[in-house]
Amino acid sequence: MKKYNIIFYDCVDSTNLEAKRNSQMEDRTVFTAVTQTGGRGRLGRKWFSDENGLWMSVLLKPDISPAQCSFVTLVAGLAVCGVIENSGIKWPNDIVLGSKKVCGILTEMSSSAEKLNYIVCGIGINLNNESFPDELSNIATSLYLETGGKTDREMFLNRFLSEFEFYYSRFVENGFSCLADEYRKKCITLGKDVTIIRGDNSYPAIAVDINENGELIVETENGTETVLSGEVSVRGIFGYV
Ligand code: BTN
């Protein structure tokens, strides 16, 4: 396996920000912190980051185009699923266990129009939380709450990196198409009635497929639509999944 250089912190604002501040460092550098004071989620949300989780960001410098960057989220999702038995992926970037979210992924990049400078793939996994703040308890869960066992952060990190390398190296060498079938199998969103939430606008749809660009294909009352990961939230009609 290619070498990952791991940097451990007690506390940072956000491991994604720390990775970006250190983007001159080598490919496959991992920034991980016990707690984050300003953990960041998708669509500008905050990410709850107390001492019970694994918060990490992987700095990557692959020779791919900026357009392919969003695949790294899907690759990381497959890797987390490889470590957490019985988990599934809620497209594009939530890992679900039971019927709640156990992990979120926030991939960011720096690029010019055609040249990618670097990618920061941030992954947050709720490991040992015994409870969550009220506003999260309907959607968030932890490995502990689902399995009854506590998980060692470093052991999880090492297992994750070995799964990540497995999928990531295939993606960089052969493109996402070689992983698409496996992603479809793990994706619990497919076949579900969902609500597409675009800003203030929301409407019902059925999720039918993931295309070769990693985008979600949905059927709506106005026909087939392609949903890009950066722009929407997808919710099940009865709740989070
Ligand atoms: C989401 O589901 O909205 C994405 C959450 C991503 C959280 C992780 S925790 C490690 C890294 N640092 C951050 O500030 N965010 C990501």
**Tokens at 161, concatenated:** 């990196």
Contact 163, 82 (CB under 8 A): yes
User: Could you tell me the pLDDT band of residue 163, with boundaries at 50, 70 and 90?
Assistant: very high
Residue (of 182, 174, 187) closest to 216 by Cα position:
187
Please tell me the distance from the alpha carbon of residue 37 to that of residue 34, in angstroms, as a whole number: 10
For a mutational test of ligand 1's pocket, the pick from 40, 141, 235, i.e. the residue with the most ligand atoms closer than 8 A to its C-beta, is: 40
Distance, CA 30 to ligand 1 centroid (Å)?
A: 14
Residues with CB under 6 A from ligand 1: 14-16, 36, 39-42, 45, 47, 55-57, 93-94, 104-106, 122-124
CB atoms near residue 153 (< 10 Å):
19
Measured in Å, residue 224 CA sits from the centre of ligand 1 at 31
Q: What is the largest CA-CA distance in the chain?
A: 50
Task: Supply the pLDDT for residue 43.
Answer: 83
Q: 238 burial class (0-12, 13-18, 19+ CB within 10 angstroms)?
A: exposed
pLDDT at 41 over 90: yes
Alpha-carbon dihedral sign for residues 63, 67, 72, 78: negative
The mean of the pLDDT values for the chain is 94
Which of 102, 85, 98, 82 minimizes the C-alpha distance to 182? 82
- pLDDT band at residue 212, thresholds of 50, 70 and 90? confident
The mean-pLDDT minimum among 49-53, 134-138, 177-181, 198-202 falls in 198-202
Instruction: Choose one of 46, 47, 52 to mutate for the ligand 1 pocket test, by most ligand atoms within 8 angstroms of C-beta.
Output: 47
- Å from CA of 217 to ligand 1 middle: 25
- For residues 217 and 8, what is the distance between their CA atoms, to the nearest angstrom? 39
Does 231 have pLDDT greater than 70? Answer: no
238 band by pLDDT with thresholds 50, 70 and 90: low
User: For 78-119, what is each residue's pLDDT tens digit?
Assistant: 999 999 999 999 998 899 999 999 999 999 999 998 899 999
Looking at residue 237, its pLDDT comes to 64
**Structure confidence at residue 1 (pLDDT):** 82
144-161: average pLDDT = 98
Q: Are 192 and 206 in contact (CB under 8 A)?
A: yes
